Structure formats: C-alpha cells, structure tokens
Structure 1
Amino acid sequence: MLPHTYNPLLVVCSLVVAVLTAYTAFDAAGRIASAKGRIVPWWLLGGACAMGLGIWSTHFIGMQSFDLPIALGYDPLITVASLLLAIAASTFALWLVGQDVLPTPRLMVGAVLMGLAITGMHYIGMAAMRMRPAIDYDPALATMSVTIAIIASGAALWLAFRLRGRTSVMLFRRSSASLAMGVAFVSIHYAGMAAARFPIGSVCGAAHTGANHGWLALVTMIVALAVIAIALTISVFDLRMEARTAALGASLVAANNKLAHLALHDSLTELPNRALLENRLEELIRNSMHAGERFTLMFLDLDSFKAVNDVFGHRVGDRLLIDVATRIRAGLRPHDTVARVGGDEFVLLSLIKDAAAAANLATVLIRAIQTPFVVEGHEVEISVSVGIAIFPDDGASQEELLSNADTAMYHAKALGSGEYCFFEASMEAGSYEQMQIAHELHSALQRGQMILHYQPKFWAPNGPAVGAEALLRWDHPVLGLMAPERFIPLAERTGMIVQIGAWVLDESCRQLKAWHDSGHTAWSIAVNLSPMQFAHEGLTRAVLDALHRHNLPADSLILEVAESTAMRDVELSLTVLRKLRRTGVQIAIDDFGTGYSSLLYLKRLPATELKIDRGFVRQLADDTEDAAIISAIIALGKALNLRIVAEGVETAAQQMYLTRLGCDMLQGFLLGRPVIGDAFLAAVVSTE
C-alpha cells in the first residue's frame, strides 16, 4: 500500500470549518423555525447552501490534507456532484428540524438518510480522484464511518430542533453543541479516509485533467469561510432587525395598553371611569339576575368641593381628589369597584347584599373622608354625602340604579354634610323637582327672576331706621316666590352661588345708593355671605367693584357671616375677614350663639356687630334659659366693643326686654317686614 501523510494545519482548518458549519446549521434551524410567510423558503435555501458547502468543505479540506507520493487531482463533475449531495442533505435536515414537532420515528429516519447522504458525499468525493486501480476500502472502518455519520446526524438533528430558541442561554448551548458536532463531522471524514487503501502503483486519473491539488485547499477554505461568514452576518443583521421590530412591537403593545387603560380609567385618580363602570355594572346585573343575588350601588359626592378649588386653587383640588380616591379604595373589599364619574362624584359597586352592611360601609367611607387631609401644606377638611341603592329592589337596570342612588345622595345632602341615605320610592317626585329647580337656576339671573326684599333695622327700641338687611328671593314663574332655603343649597352644590352672591352685592349697593340720594345718607345695607361665597378668592374684588360702581362709602356695607362659617376654618376666616375689613366694610357675625365659638377666636375676629339668632329671641322670657344666654351674649359683645343686633323681634315684650338688656339694634316683623326696594321708604316712614 502507498504510504500517506496528513497536513496538520489543514486538519485544523477542516475542524474549524466543521465547527462553524455546525453553528451555521443550528442558527439556520432557529431562523427557519421562527420565520413566517414567504421568507421561510429563502432562509431554507440560504441555510442549506451555507450548511452544505460547509460540510462539503470540511470533507474536501480534509482530503487536501491527505498526501500521497503521487500527483493528485479531482474530477470537476464528480466533485460538484458530491457538493450537490451535501446541499441536498442539508436542505432535508433543515426542513426536518423546521417542523413543529420531531417525533422519534421521524428523527431516526432522518438520521439514517442524512448519515447516508454525508457518507455518500465523502465516498463520491473520494471517487473524484479516479484512482487506478480503484481505492480499496476496509469494510470495518467504512462501516464505522457510516455508523458515525448516522449517529452524528441524529444528534445534530435533535440538537438543532431543541436549540431553535433565540435566548442568550440558547446561544451559549448552541455554541457548545457546535464544537461537539464539528468534531463528529470531522470524525466521519477521517474514519472514511482511514478506511481507504491505495495499492502500490496506483495512479490518479484526474491528476492532470482535474482540479489542481495544490491550490484547491486554499480556495475551498476561503470560499467556505466566506459563505459561512455571509450567512452568519445576515443572521446577525436579521436578529438585530428582529430585536428592533420586537422592541417596536412591544412599544406599540404598551402604547395600545396605555390607550386602552386611558379609555377606561380616569386620568387623574386612575380609577375606572364611567365607561368601565357601565361595563362592570352590566356584567354584575347579568350575573346577579342569573344567580338571584343582590348587590349595592353607592353614589358619593363631595360636599363643598368647589370651595376648595376656589380657596386653594385647582392644583390642590386635583391633589385632594387623588387622596380621596386613595382613601375610598383603602376601605373597599377585593371584589368592590369604585369609579370616578364626575368632577367630585364617585360610584361604588359592592357585593354587599343587605342594608345593614351597606350602612356600615357608608359610615366607614364618610369617616375616612372626614378625617382632615394635608394637601401641599394645607389642611383641608371635607365631607361626603352617600346615596345607596340595592339591586334589584331599587332598580333592575343601570339607569335606574344610578338615577336612584343619585336621588338618595341629594336627599343625604339635604340632611346635612357627611350623611348617607337609602333610596325610597317616595323620593322620586321631590328629586325631579330638585333637578328641575337646579336646571332653571342657571338662567334665573339672566331672566331677571332673582329679586331682593329689604327688612329694616332700627335703633332700639323704636328707631329711627339705620338701614336694612337684603334678603334674596326667587320669583319663579310657576312655583311663585321662593324663600332662599329652597334654592340656596342647590346654588351651593352647583357653584351658582358665587354668581348669585355677586349680583346680590351689586343690587344691594345700587339700592342703597338710591336711598342715599333721597337723603338717607346714614343708612347702611347688610348682605349675607354664603359659605362658598365667603371662601371664594374673588370676594374682596367683587365687594370693591360694587362699592366703586355705585360710589358708596365702604362703611355703609355690612357683610354678615354665619358663626358656623367663620368657625369652620378659623385661620382662613381670619385671613378673609381681615382682608375685607381693610377695605373699610363692616363685618357682622350672624346667628351668634348657635355655633361653637371660642372666646379666644372671637376676640380675634375683626367684627363690628353680633347678631343674636332669632331662635333665642322667639322663646324669650325673664325666667327662661334663653334670656340668660342673650344676656351673656350682650355682655360679651359689649366687652368686645361690638354692636348687638337682635333679629326675629315679633312682640312688644321682646322689644322692651332686649332694649333693657342692652341691644343696640332690633330687627323683626314687629318693626318692619321685608319689602321690595320701591316700597321700603314708605314702609319705614310709616313705622317711624
């Protein structure tokens, strides 16, 4: 047999090409498995060409490393045939591992076919030498090379199928597997080469007509590495593009999720909005009807929230709403839903089934909201009114439940701030009237339906008159003359009170100017301030504008502030009253004795008058408790150098007793009833 040797450098090169080929095959398998649509065949074709060329190059470079003491060459057609067989085997392998599943029978068949194709490529490549006499193969070694090829092909197919992922862990495992499979592919070739026997005197028939043995190894290695490099480069670029596409897709998904969230949630409080509430309420109604269950719907409305915006600004108001939402959520059970459906309105859905449990929950929520908030350095006190409707007793549809809970909420407001009320059928008629009044209130000023009546005030006991108190009335075209008790609370809730209050100030000053022009220059006019109007930041400007517009001295205007309003937030009240007092107007503390004034605060208020509440005057007698209270109020007022005005004087006995106790001024039906401005002068003259 002819002696032979191996070129170590080319052996190493063949191993490098084999490892890179294995990695390219694994990468192509992963790319084909993840690709979609028309791009799949292109990845299959490109991957098969790169893989087939790599397998063939491993074989061919290995053959170049084999040296005999005779001239060698390779038949081009047979060499190309071996290359095509390698590409065909690669195409089959990549198609096989690109399937969704790879059952064991299919894996075994694939391993046999691919192993035979690879060994077939090797032995066809050896045949390209066209040796004479023919190469003699050792059966045992040849069989071993085929066996190695089948086992290696099976392992390669299984690994390629399992390592198709694109994660960093998969990339590491793929690199490790490529090294092992490269060694296996090289072993196939060198086992086949070891099986070859070249008898002495053998001649290579392709030595002179075939491809040159000297430079073919270099060209083969360069071409193979270039093709593998191109395949891997394209894969890397595609991977980056895929990563960018995935990132863009994730951004779009996140944006869509955010848009969906915004569409169904309130942007300020992050609570569900009305749209999401209606969806959940509809589902809850459907499930409850099917199961025959009950549930509770609560309508919550913050009391005097507009005053917070007016006093502290909308930034503080928004922050307060966020804190209110947080407290409401903290008091709920896991399956409860609370939604913000308006500026300061919330709706709560709860699986609570009975009224007692609903009342307990409402009490918890009211107490939670009543605890003072600290918002951006301001201590803010607010309360909430709660209307409760229970399904199906108080409505079997969304509209009925929401409407009836809203009706109950308005009744709760009528009871006072911080109350809850269950819906009752009897509420509906009154609720409709309230809604109608609230609707018409917006246009009452423009239609000239608001009017003022004036009740005279006299020096005790019989005069003369010192001026009047302006009393607001609504001359409703259907309901007639309405007292303020019927519409002022609605005006407070809707915010109309500020606009109405500004009109009262202006109209009162206009009327007083007319009286001054008629000769009663010493008269003053008293105007009541509602809580919201008192807290409004534009109050001082409205007062100054009214005085300037009608050219009145500031001390001819008396602003009456209820004791409860002044004491609600003492520090704020002191700030507002001092600012008003600096304009020159007079300040009266109205309904004195009905609240909880502290003497410490009372002496700090820049007031000029105390008005004794009519409730004390009504039951006045020498030996009654009211007489003692009035006596103490008068003594207190005198000590603070304040004028004392008693209202509600209806009998001569009350008139004389109040005068004897030291009241400075009297006001009531005994001395003069409220009349319109045009009738006031005549009424006062006849009284005097």
Structure 2
Amino acid sequence: MKDMDKTKEQLMDELNSMRRQLTELKEKEKDLRHISTHDELTGLPNRIVFYEDLSYALMEAKKKQLMAALLFIDLDRFKLVNDIIGHMMGDQILKSIAFRLSRSIRRSDLIARIGGDEFGLILNGIMRIEDIPGIGQKITDSLREPVQVAGREFTITASIGIAVYPVHGDDADTLLKHADTAMYKAKEHGDNYQIYSAAMSEEDFELLATESALRKALENSEFVVHYQPQINTVTGEIIGVEALVRWQHPEKGIIPPAEFIPMAEETGLIIPLGEWVLRTACAQNKMWQAAGYPPMRVTVNLSARQFQQGNLVETVLGTLEETGLDPEWLELEITESIAMQDINYTMSVLNNLRNRNVRIAIDDFGTGYSSFSYLKNFPSHTLKIDRSFVKDVTTDNDDAAITKAIIALAQNLKLKVIAEGVETEEQLAFLKEQNCDQIQGYLFSRPVSAESFTELLKTRNISEKREECP
C-alpha cells in the first residue's frame, strides 16, 4: 500500500514537473514570438509585423469601402546625432520618440519601427483624405518638444511621407514605395510632411532617365567645351579664356550645364566628365599656342566632388603632362562655398597646386560667409565677382558698394579681379572706373566653340566686335 502511495506521489510530481516544463516552454515560445515580431529597443512591432498588418488593413479597408493611410516617418539628421552623442544616448532618444508616437495615435492605428531611424504608421478607417494632413501635423507637433536625455535637451524633427489607399495604390508594396517617395520629397523641400502625388514618381523617372542619358552621353562623346573670352578692361584684348562644358544632345540640341551638372555631381559622373573637360581644355590651349597665338590662361571649373577627390593634384599634373601644356597657362576655379567647406583641406590642395605653378581662382566671391578673414591665407591668384552683384551694379547702391569693396580688397591683397556677367556699356564703364582688371560677359562674347573662338583670337582685340546682349 505504501509503495502504491509512493508511486502516486511520484506520478503527481512528474505530472506537475511536466506541467511546469510545458508552461515554461509556452512562455519561452511566447517570448521568442515577441522577439521575432517586435523591436527590442522600443518594444514596437517590427517591419515584418508592419507589412503583415498593412496587408490586413488594406483588406479590411476594401471590405468596408474605407480609406487607409500609410505614413513613413524618418527622423532628420539622426545619424549626425548618433555620431555626436553616441549610440547609447541615441537609443534613449529613439525610445522617447517611439513613446511619443505611440501616444499620438488612435487605438485602432498601428505604429512600428521599420528601420534605424524610421517608423511606419497605419491609419485605419479614414473617411476623408482631407483629415490626413491634420494627423501628420499632430505627429510633427508631438516631436517638437525637446527630448531630455542625461540632463541634456535635443530637438528632433521628422520628415513624413504619406500614401493613401486606394488613391495612391491598392497593395502594400505600391503604398510603401509611394510613401517612401513622398518622405524624400518632404525631406528635400524641408517640409514636415508630403502627401504622395503621381508627379513625384514622374520626377523620379525623369531623374533616372537623365542619369541614364548622362552615362550614354559620356560613352558617345556628346559633350563639347565652349570657350568664353576674358578681356583686359583697359586694352580690350583677350588675355584668357574660360572653358565651359555643354551637352550636345542628339535630339534636344545644346543643353546648358545647370540642367545636368547637379545630376552628374550627385551620381559621381562629374568625376569622369570633369577630367574630360580638363583634358580637352588643356589640349585646346596647347593647340592655340602651337598655332602661333600668344599664350593665355585657360580657366577650368572644379565641382565640389572633384575638389574633394584625394587624387586631384595627381590628376591635374598628369593631364598637363599628357597635353604638354605648361602649368602657368592653366587656372583652376573653385567657388567660395567649396573653398570654405574644409579650410585645412582647401589650403593643402591649393598650396600643392600653386607650388607647381597652377593658378587658382575663387569664383562667386562675396556670396558666401566669413571668407574675408580667410582670403588672405588662401594661395589664390584671382577673385571673380559674382554676376549677381554685377547685374545691378549701376542701379543698386548695395551691389555697387560690395563690388567696390571686393575690387579694393583684391588690389590690397595683390590679386587679379575679374567681373563676370558684364552685359552693358554702363556696367563696363563702372568697372573701368573702379580699376577692375578683367571683364567677362555677353557684352564681348557668349561662350563659343573652339573654332569660333579661334576666329576671335585672330583679331585679339574684340572691343569693336561686341555682341548685342540678348
């Protein structure tokens, strides 16, 4: 009997042990399920759950003939915040942002963390599309209050892209793509939020098409270099030339740089394009010298991306060696804003080039910031007055004062000064009176082909061959 009772007790103990193990397994399974479907840091659902819930929300919206909205929320410049304060404090900010977002939505909506600094929001049961901007504003307002972490305050802003079912798509993938597009447009324009429109996709398509066409243009040699003379203000003689790239499109004709240089810069195509322009301009200048024309400097513009290339000096020297042009007949032009991006790097590169007898020009001078204190240390030879000052120099007292100051500054620093965008006799007379060294603009000549520029060189003095300003 005792043995039987003992056996029952053992069975009960084993049964209870099995129950405990089963309960623990269920808890572990529940924990694992939660870990696989939720973000560990914020506790919010993750991208996998968000996609599933979005698909379900669209099914329900279709069934009930209602709208649903997808919001893509991206924290602005959060990578910079992380780099400055460290990831631990950055994580605390993310947790605070997640809490605020959760608090700003309805119980029927879903918020998820779908990336490092990206959140997704599903708004269910939307009756009118007009209600959505108010929700977007409410979310941005919730983020406006500074976040306090470790006794410090941080103000975090966000860019929000919004896509609405069924107006902007009837499946999860399409809505995600369109909300992402709208978010980047909001970031690009500095807006709190943007609602998707078909024009955004058309614009993106145009950008992709432009990039593709640019690549083909490089392969098919569709680019040409035009040359604009730089004139001695006193004698009217051509003493220099600026090389300016143009795209000779087989269908659209000549495309000005403003329409393709930004895309070339963004995609990195500016590097091979810029090297081609440099090589072409140097070779052409050497050809003019070989033909017996008096030597003159050719000025070539450098973009921001070109200037930041670590091998810029080697590229320039290699091009000069390849074309046979003496370094003193090349002038490289950078804008004031490029020069000011990284002073130490700028000084190093410019000194390196100057030590090899390559001349340096600072373009768009006077349009930037804090440059007067640095200018005396820049190893430059020439200042170019921006055309925005020259345009109204005879009618605007401020522009006149700025132009006079730049010319006087250049003269005191023993720099040559050249005024761009000269289009009228009145502008020319003003600049002559201020002893501006050189002039460039439509009053004398537009940028022209190498062949047309050769014809200008045959006269050398083109003061009597001025073109009418368009």
TM-score band by shorter chain is: 0.7 to 0.9
Residues 514 and 587 (structure 1 numbering): CA distance in 2 closer, same or farther, change over 3 Å? same
Corresponding residue to 1:529 among 296, 302, 324: 302
Deviations 1:510-548 (A, max 9, x none): 222222222345311212222222222232222222112
Give me the whole-angstrom Cα distance separating, in 1, the residues matched to 2:236 and 2:373: 34
Match of 2:7 in 1: 156
Matched, 1:358 2:132: no
Match of 1:476 in 2: 249
SS at match of 2:390: helix
SS at match of 1:641: coil
Residues 547 and 675 (structure 1 numbering): CA distance in 2 closer, same or farther, change over 3 Å? same
Corresponding residue to 1:395 among 159, 164, 169: 169
Residues 157 and 329 (structure 1 numbering): CA distance in 2 closer, same or farther, change over 3 Å? closer
Give me the whole-angstrom Cα distance separating, in 1, the residues matched to 2:415 and 2:5: 107
User: Given the two structures, how large is their TM-score scaled by the length of structure 2?
Assistant: 0.73
Match of 1:295 in 2: 69
Rg larger for: 1
Match of 1:4 in 2: none
Higher relative contact order (CA 8 A, sep 6+): 2
Match of 2:154 in 1: none
Give me the whole-angstrom Cα distance separating, in 2, the residues matched to 1:338 and 1:472: 46
Match of 1:503 in 2: 276
CA-CA distance at 1:684 after TM superposition = 4.0
8 A Cα contact 1:329 1:338, kept in partner: no
Match of 1:458 in 2: 231
Residues 501 and 620 (structure 1 numbering): CA distance in 2 closer, same or farther, change over 3 Å? same
Match of 1:651 in 2: 424
CA-CA distance at 1:648 after TM superposition = 0.3
Please tell me the residue identity of whatever aligns with 1:490: M
8 A Cα contact 1:328 1:365, kept in partner: no
Deviations 1:113-170 (A, max 9, x none): xx4xxxxxxxxxxxxxxxxxxxxxxxxxxxxxxxxx3xx4213322244147889x99
Please tell me the residue identity of whatever aligns with 2:6: A
Residues 391 and 452 (structure 1 numbering): CA distance in 2 closer, same or farther, change over 3 Å? same
Match of 1:566 in 2: 339
1:84-483 correspondence to structure 2 within 5 Å: 115=1, 149=2, 152-163=3-14, 281-283=54-56, 285-286=58-59, 292=66, 294-298=68-72, 331-332=97-98, 333-334=101-102, 336-337=111-112, 339=114, 348-351=119-122, 354-358=132-136, 388-392=161-165, 393-405=167-179, 407-408=181-182, 421-483=194-256
Please tell me the residue identity of whatever aligns with 1:350: L
SS at match of 2:208: helix
Match of 2:330 in 1: 557
CA-CA distance at 1:461 after TM superposition = 4.0
8 A Cα contact 2:181 2:201, kept in partner: yes
CA-CA distance at 1:596 after TM superposition = 1.4
Give me the whole-angstrom Cα distance separating, in 2, the residues matched to 1:513 and 1:526: 13
Give me the whole-angstrom Cα distance separating, in 2, the residues matched to 1:500 and 1:366: 44
8 A Cα contact 1:387 1:407, kept in partner: no
Give me the whole-angstrom Cα distance separating, in 1, the residues matched to 2:132 and 2:207: 28
Please tell me the residue identity of whatever aligns with 1:594: T
Structure 2 unpaired stretches of 5+? 22-27, 40-44, 103-109, 124-130, 147-156, 464-470
Higher helix share: 1
Deviations 1:426-459 (A, max 9, x none): 4454443232112222222011112211111111
Corresponding residue to 2:313 among 540, 543, 551: 540
8 A Cα contact 1:592 1:610, kept in partner: yes
1:588-603 correspondence to structure 2 within 5 Å: 588-603=361-376
Match of 1:233 in 2: none
Residues 573 and 445 (structure 1 numbering): CA distance in 2 closer, same or farther, change over 3 Å? same
Residues 367 and 162 (structure 1 numbering): CA distance in 2 closer, same or farther, change over 3 Å? closer
Question: May I ask how many residue pairs the two structures share in their alignment?
Answer: 415
**Worse-superposed segment, 545-554 or 353-362:** 353-362
Deviations 1:325-366 (A, max 9, x none): 96778644355445569xxxx865224773255367679999
**Worse-superposed segment, 652-661 or 535-544:** 535-544
SS at match of 1:545: helix
SS at match of 1:669: coil
Give me the whole-angstrom Cα distance separating, in 2, the residues matched to 1:573 and 1:599: 15
Residues 402 and 661 (structure 1 numbering): CA distance in 2 closer, same or farther, change over 3 Å? farther
Matched, 1:628 2:401: yes
SS at match of 1:619: coil
Deviations 1:77-131 (A, max 9, x none): xxxxxxxxxxxxxxxxxxxxxxxxxxxxxxxxxxxxxx4xxxxxxxxxxxxxxxx
CA-CA distance at 1:607 after TM superposition = 1.9
Give me the whole-angstrom Cα distance separating, in 2, the residues matched to 1:403 and 1:493: 22
Match of 2:453 in 1: 680
Give me the whole-angstrom Cα distance separating, in 2, the residues matched to 1:578 and 1:437: 37
Give me the whole-angstrom Cα distance separating, in 2, the residues matched to 1:641 and 1:543: 25
Percent sequence identity over matched residues? 31
Please tell me the residue identity of whatever aligns with 1:432: F
Please tell me the residue identity of whatever aligns with 1:685: K
Give me the whole-angstrom Cα distance separating, in 2, the residues matched to 1:593 and 1:580: 23
CA-CA distance at 1:566 after TM superposition = 2.1
RMSD: 4.4
**Worse-superposed segment, 582-591 or 289-298:** 289-298
Give me the whole-angstrom Cα distance separating, in 2, the residues matched to 1:367 and 1:611: 45
Give me the whole-angstrom Cα distance separating, in 2, the residues matched to 1:283 and 1:420: 25
Give me the whole-angstrom Cα distance separating, in 1, the residues matched to 2:415 and 2:70: 53
8 A Cα contact 2:57 2:68, kept in partner: no
Give me the whole-angstrom Cα distance separating, in 1, the residues matched to 2:241 and 2:145: 42
SS at match of 2:210: helix
8 A Cα contact 2:70 2:176, kept in partner: no
Match of 2:382 in 1: 609
8 A Cα contact 2:70 2:175, kept in partner: no
8 A Cα contact 1:297 1:347, kept in partner: no
CA-CA distance at 1:421 after TM superposition = 4.8
Match of 1:190 in 2: none
8 A Cα contact 1:394 1:423, kept in partner: yes
SS at match of 2:219: coil
Corresponding residue to 1:670 among 419, 439, 443: 443
Residues 619 and 331 (structure 1 numbering): CA distance in 2 closer, same or farther, change over 3 Å? farther
Residues 354 and 446 (structure 1 numbering): CA distance in 2 closer, same or farther, change over 3 Å? same
8 A Cα contact 2:113 2:119, kept in partner: yes
SS at match of 1:675: coil
Deviations 1:381-421 (A, max 9, x none): xxx99572332344333454345445546756875x89965
